[in-house]
Structure 1
Amino acid sequence: MTEALKTELVNFSELTGEAGSARRAELARHVATLFALTSDRCSDEQVDIYDSVLLRLVDMVETEVRRYVADQMASLRRGPEETIRRLADDDIEVAEPILVRSTVLRDADLIKIAEKRGNAHQFAIAQREVLSQEVTDILIRSGDLKVKRKVAGNDGARLSDTSVMALISDAASDATLQLTLSERADLAESHIANLLSVASEEVRRKLHAEGRAQDANRLDEAVDIAAQRMSNQYWLGRYDFETARSRIMLLAKRGMVNEAALRRFASEDRFAEAVATFAWLVRCGVEEVSHWMVRPDPEPFIILAKASGFSSITVGALLGIGPWRHRLTPEQRSDAMSVFERMTIAEAKRKMAHWSHTVLN
């Protein structure tokens, strides 16, 4: 990258002094627009040249122009990294589009800005389409209630157990946060139980005393949603088992329904097809199996799988798909696998025989 190449794009000697102010603004806009239009076709060396030029220009222009440059850079898949980092660490009027949309920024950049800057920058970061646990941990630990609400409502934000529990704690006095959390699809069963516990009558009375009757009423809605999610039907209602059953019956006629097919459906998290396949292999009804494979206690499924001769690989895969992906903790999956591996096929069949005898009598 030579100085000659740089000066072909911008002659900085013409931009000095007050007289060059309008020219600096015009060039910054033109260079940003040109790069946005050609970025996919630029070589790495050309990107570096644009980066060095834009980095100098954004330090020479006013906020309005820097915002224009940021808008041009925000949605690019590849871009001038140093310039983008500089804009992301600018005043929020400039930084916002970069923080919300730019995929050029790395987690380390986001964490650094979240720790250095205030709630306005954190709120922008909280709006990103995808957020890692490392980033959300920082946002929830240091952000204000507005930031926490935004993270809680972001389906693309991955939440650690620590962050979920911190949000639930804050939700004890905030109906909006309770409602937002109750609508997340990735909360573990233990989290939902904790969320239910904070939506107490005491909180309702406090909100009414503060003249916040509307928030108090929203608590009821949050509790209803959370309670509904505790039921099997909430989870099963997401899946089309009838269509899945029809597909599996067609595959069965071609001799293509076996344990390998079941593992394939599990690896693709195709829960409805996995349920229908398992039901066909164990000669049970789809509805009955679906309830076994959604309940927080997987013991009946474990017993049936062992009695039917399934491998531990298949059982382990099934314990991590569909509703069980959210309803079972890693510890519960590990415990279930331990039970499966210790149990003999004969023991499993005796348990099933006992069930049948209990039902018949």
Structure 2
Amino acid sequence: MTQALKTELVNFQELDGGADSSRSAELARHVASLFAYTSDRCTAEQVDIYDSVLLRLISMVEVEVRSFVAEQMAGLRRGPEGTIRKLAEDEIVIAEPILRCSTVLRDADLVNIAEKKDDSHRLAIAKREVLSEAVTEVLVNRGDVHVKRQVAGNSGATFSDRTLMKLIGDSTADATIQMSLSERADLAEHHIKQLVGVACEEVRKALVKRGEIADAARLPEAADITAQRMTNEYWLARYDFETARNRVLLLAKRGMVTEATLRRFAIEDRFPESVAAFAWMVRCGVEEVSHWMVRADPEPFLIIAKASGLSSITVNSLLSIGPWRHRLTPEIRATSMRTFDRMSVGEAERRMAHWGNVMLN
């Protein structure tokens, strides 16, 4: 049966006997199209047969035909691995669709190609929907600025800490990389601070060069604000506040949103529900409250909590959940609780009133 399939696909004796190149091209197109049509139904043995046949055929045909074969192979879920690897290492006009789309290629294949081929191949790899840490490491270490821009903007790329820090460092010389990195949702706090520092330093140099010394001196403060906003968004993006808000509204209709309910949410580390319950109790929006309860400085939350009459037990519980479980050190929590306990309700209300006056003015 195996020999019959080989014979049915291609008579290599005829080709080796001097058939013209147009016959080889026709057969390559035919076999590639046939496999693309039947690939999901082929046995492993049949795939191997197609692989051996296609490998011989693509060595006998010109660029245009190899490009056709690559296009046929690129989108297949399973395919002739040897043929696909060979096409992936061909010149870029042939390799591009394979490198960009083929799920048959393994990480080891991609790493190998990225290491030994040029930036055109690396750029095609960088456009894949998913990139592993091993692949992004090679792309960032070996790629030119165009490759790095593509990787930085690829939402399906994952990075080791070392690779991401290198890419942030490389962004010093390229604003496009900086912008792409700033829009990523997977940056940790130390990545964000490093990125903001890089961007701030470049702007500072430009201002100093133009003689705008005063503006340059104010940049660190602006950088701190930017870093805080970005880190806040990094943490908040992890939670589903809309669903939590709807759950709390149902409880509120039954008169069940109380401090005891809020404390229970905190004890269970249900951060979105805690935010939504606190927002309902203090009559503020969930989005606004979520930003109070993610800040590295919890002072605004402490003031609102004191003015709203929350107990120390509840506040202490809330300071240990969600992002604050990671962002606040034990020392900051202890200091925050001392601040809360010493603050009077009247003082908290006066500070809230001051905020209102500032916003009105």
After TM superposition, is the score higher than 0.5? yes
Residues 296/26 of structure 1: CA separation in 2 closer, same or farther (3 Å cut): farther
Q: Secondary structure at the match of 2:19?
A: helix
Sort the Cα spacing of 1:80 and 1:349 in 2 relative to 1 into closer, same or farther, 3 A. Answer: same
CA contact (8 A) 2:88 2:98 kept: yes
Cα deviation, residue 356, structure 1: 5.3
Paired residues for 1:218-257 under 5 Å: 228=226, 230-231=228-229, 235=233, 244-250=244-250
Aligned-pair distance for 1:13?
A: 1.5
**Distance in 1, Cα, partners of 2:13 & 2:94:** 26
Runs (5+) with no aligned partner, structure 1: 209-223, 325-331
| CA root-mean-square deviation | 4.6
Higher relative contact order (CA 8 A, sep 6+): 1
- CA apart distance, 1:25: 0.9
Q: Distance in 2 between matches of 1:22 and 1:263?
A: 75
Q: Compared with structure 1, are the counterparts of its residues 227 and 79 closer, same or farther at alpha carbon in structure 2 (3 Å cutoff)?
A: farther
CA contact (8 A) 2:298 2:336 kept: no
Q: What secondary structure is seen at the aligned counterpart in 2 of 1:204?
A: helix
* In structure 2, C-alpha distance between the alignment counterparts of 1:261 and 1:27, rounded to whole Å: 67
Superposed CA offset, 1:118-138 (max 9, x none): 111111111111111111111
* 1:15–1:231 Cα change, 3 Å: same
Q: CA deviation at 1:17?
A: 4.8
Q: Name the CA shift for 1:39/1:229 in 2 (closer, same or farther; >3 Å).
A: farther
Q: Please name the residue that 1:38 is paired with.
A: 38
Give the structure with higher Rg (CA). 2
Residue pairs, 1:92-241, within 5 angstroms: 92-199=92-199, 200-201=202-203, 203-204=205-206, 228=226, 230-231=228-229, 235=233
1:21 to 1:227, Cα distance in 2 relative to 1, 3 A: farther
The answer (yes or no) to whether the contact 2:126–2:147 under 8 Å persists in 1 is: yes
Structure 2, unaligned runs of 5 or more: 211-221, 351-361
Q: CA deviation at 1:23?
A: 1.4
Give how far 1:171 is off.
2.0
Aligned residues: 323
**Structure 2 counterpart of 1:217:** none
Equivalent-residue separation in structure 2 for 1:259 and 1:34 (angstroms): 65
Q: What pairs with 1:284-303 in structure 2 (closer than 5 Å)? A: 286=286, 289-296=289-296
- Contact 1:172-1:178 at 8 Å conserved across structures: yes
Contact 1:195/1:226 (<8 A) preserved? no
Q: Is the 8 A contact 1:228 1:234 kept in 2?
A: no
Percent identity of paired positions between Structure 1 and Structure 2:
55
Deviation at 1:310, TM superposition (A): 10
User: What CA distance in whole angstroms lies between the structure 2 residues aligned with 1:226 and 1:97?
Assistant: 43
> What's the CA shift for 1:78?
1.4
| CA distance in structure 2 between the aligned counterparts of 1:305 and 1:45, rounded to whole angstroms | 71
Equivalent pair of 2:107/2:135 in contact (CA under 8 Å): yes
Range with bigger deviation, 54-63 or 229-238: 229-238
Greater shift in the superposed pair: 119-128 or 241-250: 241-250
Given the superposition, is the C-alpha separation of residues 96 and 355 from structure 1 closer, same or farther in structure 2, using an over 3 Å criterion? farther
Provide the C-alpha distance between the structure 2 equivalents of 1:84 and 1:133, rounded to a whole number of angstroms. 22
Alpha-carbon distance in 1 for matches of 2:106, 2:262: 43
Matched residues in 2 for 1:131 and 1:177: separation? 17
1: distance between equivalents of 2:189 and 2:267? 25
TM-score (norm 2): 0.71
One of 340, 347, 359 as aligned partner of 2:348: 359
Secondary structure of the residue aligned to 1:172 is helix
Q: Does 1:276 align with 2:276?
A: yes
Q: Give CA-to-partner distance per residue, 1:43-99, whole Å, 9 cap, x none.
A: 222222222222222222212111111111111111112211111111111111010
Cα drift, residue 101 of structure 1: 0.6
CA–CA distance in structure 2, aligned partners of residues 52 and 153 of structure 1: 38
Q: CA deviation at 1:262?
A: 8.6
Instruction: Give the residue type in structure 2 aligned to 1:165.
Output: M
Matches within 5 A, 1:255-274: none
**1:231 partner SS:** helix
